[in-house]
Amino acid sequence: MSLLDDVRAHAAEIARTSRYVRIDHAKIDAYARSLPVEEARAPELDPATHFVGQRDVTLAYVVTLDAINFGSGYFPHLRKRPGMSGYFTVAASLKDVFEARGPLDHDELQAVNAEECARIVGQVGADAHVMELMELFAQALNQLGQFIGTRYGGNFRAAIDAADGSAESLARLLAQMPFYDDIGFYKRAQLTAADLSIAGVADFRDLDRLTIFADNLVPHVLRLDGVLEYDLELVERIEREELIPSGSREEIEIRAGAVHAVELIADALGREAWPMQLDYVLWNRGQEPAYKARPRHRTRSVYY
């Protein structure tokens, strides 16, 4: 079975045996028809918050950003840029670095530490929670530097070309790094291929086979929209902003429920919209004030 088939089968089995998260199957068809899927047909990087420039530099930016595209469980403590979420704060901060000096090469990535990550992301003098995240960012970048340097001679493009135009193959390659080895979901390993495609710097023939990128925002949108139903005690814990442990049954069910629900939505649409595209629609919906006003589950994880 392929990596992506494994993700789908894992999510379906968890959803079938779930105790804390339930999919309201009766709502799938109507919900699918209500989604503005045309918004997902031509996504692009927003140059206001992402580096967009020479092709190979943009590729290096996307790969570097996705290496540290996690930490949502820490984001309530992050010092955010005005009007920006945690993710956009990180993306825009890294954009500034690339515009000022170009990409970090593999040697620099292998040597970066938590204090330098704090400087890059605008978190100098931050509290212990954020510095814990900065230490994880440093480890993630160290792993990326070693991966690019040891396997591909420091060439970001060569690393992507090694996937031979397959998003699934790229996910397998990236999952060799510990912080990408998100067994059962492979969120960031899949997302990197999608982001490279959206940036227009790499082409993949199998993007339609990607699942959603299981995080804490898409499940939140699906819950508030009535597609996912959570156990009352779990809802209360989320509303209290209690951390849900990484790898706990509740956390796995939340992520798996979202993956399987979107597979069902894609099926209801006759696969005219891919799960990757539906993720884009739902994630952007999650930026709206009505969704941001309600607590979502928070987990401290290197996977999202």
- Tokens 């929670």 — which residue? 129
Q: What is residue 44's predicted lDDT score, i.e. its pLDDT?
A: 86
Beta bridge partners of 21: 230
CA-atom Rg of the chain in angstroms: 18
Percent helix, strand and coil across the chain, each rounded to 5? 60, 5, 40
pLDDT means per 10 residues, the chain with 304 residues, are: 96 98 99 92 89 98 99 98 97 99 98 99 98 99 99 98 99 99 99 98 98 98 99 98 98 99 98 96 96 98 98
Residue 1: the pLDDT is 79
**Residue 161: per-residue pLDDT:** 99
Distance CA 283, CA 214 (A): 10
Scanning 126-248, the segments in alpha helix (DSSP H) are 128-152, 156-161, 167-174, 187-198, 218-224, 232-239
- What confidence score (pLDDT) does residue 249 get? 99
User: pTM for the complete prediction?
Assistant: 0.96
* pLDDT at res. 215: 98
How far out from the chain centre does Cα 159 lie?
20
Per-residue confidence (pLDDT) for residue 43, from 0 to 100: 82
Exposure string for 290-302, b = 16+ CB within 10 A, e = fewer:
ebeeeebbbbbbb
